[in-house]
Amino acid sequence: MAVLEILEFPDPRLRTVAKPVKTVDDRIRKLIDDMFDTMYEAPGIGLAASQVNVHEQIVVIDTSEDRSEPLVFINPEISVLDHDTFQYDEGCLSVPGFYETVERPQHIRVKALDRNGDAFEMTPEGLLAVCIQHENDHLLGKLFVDYISPLKRNRIRGKMVKLQKQKAADKA
């Protein structure tokens, strides 16, 4: 297992739309294991394959305090069950250190494949529902900063570019 590099905003590769996984095989399962290692190391509660520059529809999530509830969503399909929304302060491993309030549907259904390629369905609530929607957005080339005002988004972009330049200078 390995810790993978997480792409950071405004990297244009984060805007790539992920392709469906055709076959759940050992390559996909190894990627899933590496994604969990990467997410836990970061630390985070969700990671989409797009964030590690693999543009396939794979999401890993664990919202538990003790890392005991790992979930895998391959080729997730989300449907909104009603128009009730709620607001949540979201952060992102691809936009480290920044949190903004995002409004999302409260009641969703997700259909996906698990790490063995078996189909399942769930109707998550609360943090898990937010996390699934947030990570699914990554598969569509969308980031949580797309939900905030252009002024805030540009301010975050500027700070991220400055941080990335500083990191590069420190490595040199």
Active-site amino acid positions: 135
Annotated binding residues for Fe cation: 92, 134, 138
Q: Is 158 helix (H, G, I), strand (E, B) or coil?
A: helix
For residue 129, count CB atoms less than 10 angstroms from its CB and return exposed for 0-12, middle for 13-18, buried for 19 or more. Answer: buried
> Would you state the structure tokens that stand for residue 19, as one six-digit string?
């392709």
**How far apart are the C-alpha atoms of 114 and 116, rounded to whole Å?**
5
**How far apart are the C-alpha atoms of 156 and 169, rounded to whole Å?**
20
> Would you state the structure tokens that stand for residue 162, as one six-digit string?
């400055």
